Amino acid sequence: MRPSAVNNPVSVSISVVIPTANRHEKIVRAITKIYENTIRPLEVIVVDQSLNHLTFDVLKPFIEDRRIIYIKDEGTGAARSRNIGWKHASGDIIAFTDDDAWVDSKWLQAIQESFQRKDFNIGVLGGKIIPVYEEKSPDWNIPQKWQHLLPAYDQGDTFGHYIGNAEPASVNYAVRRILLEKFSGFDETLGANIGRTIQIFGEDAELSSRLKQNGFDIVYNPGCIVYHPVPLNRQNQAFLNKRLKFEGATYAYMKIQSRSFDFIGVLVETLKSTFKLYYSILAQKTDEACYLYGKLLILVKCGILKLNP
């Protein structure tokens, strides 16, 4: 059953939440670009999990003139940071972005106008993620099918539902605060975490999936634009291999968490993935091998041994 449409007020207030960890050299740009928007946010909340004082030092001017609400968190995990952020927020809409990205000058306006529409019952809103190469490698290009890992996303210039299995990414992700409250926000067992060796992503996709299952629309607005830097150290096969290992790990962990696999299912999937890994190595399919390796690590560790990732 489709849920009752959320009331669309004439104007909606927007709180921006930025999780950060050890990126003092990037975050000032992120905050500055938000305040260069055509409309102002109600507030900007920064949740800092940095291991040193450098982030606080660069943010001190923003804290002193109350352009940001600064929260120091001694825990780890991007999902945890986002939950802390929205729980301290007052806005009708919570817009999330990353500390190393920067938003378009009409980003907030696009978010506000989207949630005022009556033709969609928006659960989550996303948009374009445009990669910006800080320096272009002449020797390597990421294969087209993996470009979303830069990250990058563009499904054209039409407002509407996300296509296929695509979901909004947390760097460009807006949701009503009442829905975060109702559905308990992000799953903190997921998400980038500086305390983990193997990264388990997907907290944004998991929340979108839950909202979609409850009848809400997951909507793309081409005018909702975020720019994401692509440094030289992401433009090589080693970066892609590592990222694909984490993608495989994320897929397996989310399947286990959703109880799609019972113990026998985990064993069967482990055996199947082992054979696929063997043949992908023989065929020198590096991308597939790295993905399967990450998947196997989590299947064994979390599915068979029942250990935390």
CB atoms under 10 Å from CB of 2, counted, come to 9
**Which tokens is 180 given?**
């975060």
Q: What pLDDT is recorded for position 58?
A: 97
CA-to-CA dists, residue 74 to 26, 52, 147, 297, angstroms: 20, 11, 33, 28
User: Phi and psi of 17, rounded to 5°?
Assistant: -115, 130
**Which tokens is 144 given?**
């087209």
Beta bridge partners of 44: 16
Q: Rounded to an integer, what distance in angstroms lies between the CA atom of residue 151 and that of residue 130?
A: 8
**DSSP one-letter code for 308:** -
Beta bridge partners of 225: 128
Q: Rounded to an integer, what distance in angstroms lies between the CA atom of residue 13 and that of residue 42?
A: 6
Global confidence as pTM? 0.92
**DSSP one-letter code for 89:** -
Q: Rounded to an integer, what distance in angstroms lies between the CA atom of residue 249 and that of residue 200?
A: 6
Among 18, 16, 228, 226, which residue's Cα sits nearest to residue 128? Answer: 226
- In this structure, are residues 287 and 145 in contact, taking their beta carbons and an 8 Å threshold? no
Beta bridge partners of 43: 15
- b/e sequence 197-214, b meaning 16+ C-beta within 10 Å: ebbbbbbbbbbbbbbbee
Q: Rounded to an integer, what distance in angstroms lies between the CA atom of residue 16 and that of residue 46?
A: 8
Regions in the chain scoring below 50 on pLDDT: 1-10
Q: What pLDDT is recorded for position 309?
A: 82
Q: What is the pLDDT of residues 63-98, one digit of tens each?
A: 999 999 999 999 999 999 999 999 999 999 999 999
Q: Rounded to an integer, what distance in angstroms lies between the CA atom of residue 85 and that of residue 15?
A: 9
**Which tokens is 83 given?**
């939950």
Q: What pLDDT is recorded for position 194?
A: 85
